[in-house]
Amino acid sequence: MILNIELSDSLATSSPEDFSREIRLAAAAQLYGQGRISSGRAAQLAGIGRVEFLANLERLGVSALNIGLDDFEKEAAFVARHL
């Protein structure tokens, strides 16, 4: 799906590419915060790695701990494998 958004020049404070990345990150964070997608899917949507996605959540006002039991168990298993 492609979404085109037209903004006035006064709202564009960065390059179109940077603005596009920030919008994708904000949308992914919102969907994750609502519990509609997992952190992995959100990171994929944002076009960044999962750790980077989770690190950006606080800046966007979204709790990184906004996960269900299934996601928590997956996260715990991931951490255990990488320690």
pLDDT given for residue 75 in this prediction: 83
Residue 7 has pLDDT above 70, yes or no: no
How far apart (Å, rounded) are the C-alpha atoms in residues 77 and 71?
10
Confirm if 28 and 46 have CB atoms less than 8 A apart. Answer: yes
Q: Give CA–CA dist 46/31, Å, rounded.
A: 11
Residue 10's pLDDT band, with cuts at 50, 70 and 90, is: low
| Banded pLDDT at 30 (limits 50, 70, 90) | very high
pTM of the model: 0.69
Distance CA(5)–CA(7), nearest Å, equals 6
